Amino acid sequence: MHNDLTLTFAFMEPPFESARGATVFRLLSEAVEGGFNVNVFAYEGAVLMPFARQKQHANAVHGRNEIEENHPLPKDWVTALFAAASARGVRFDWVNCGLCVDER
């Protein structure tokens, strides 16, 4: 599918801080599935969303190890969005703010 319609999102929510990050990923997914090209400009804490060294972690409060907790990782969501866009024939671009990356 070729589409010239593009949505651009500015994203500043760091991973694991609140439900806002999951909401943005839902919006991005809907945009890709809807056939839109998508640009994401990540700044502030959001530059850590695609960070490759993220690891699942245990939840000591609930007494679960990392396998039992099965915590979703933002880096996997970003990877899935690239794959979904490719399958739909639309463009998905993720750009991190360079200054924000350097600060972190």
Other C-beta atoms lying within 10 Å of the C-beta of residue 13: 21
- What is the pLDDT at residue 3? 64
Residues in a beta bridge with 38: 7, 92
Weakest mean pLDDT among 1-5, 11-15, 35-39, 73-77:
1-5
Mean pLDDT of 12-32: 92
22 to each of 15, 60, 84, 88, 89, how far by Cα in Å?
Answer: 9, 23, 17, 21, 24
Q: Mean of the per-residue pLDDT values for the chain?
A: 92
pLDDT bin (cut points 50, 70, 90) of residue 104 is confident
Whole-angstrom distance, CA of residue 64 vs CA of residue 85: 34
Model pLDDT for residues 49-97, shown as the tens digit of each residue: 999 999 888 988 989 998 998 888 999 999 999 999 999 999 999 999 9
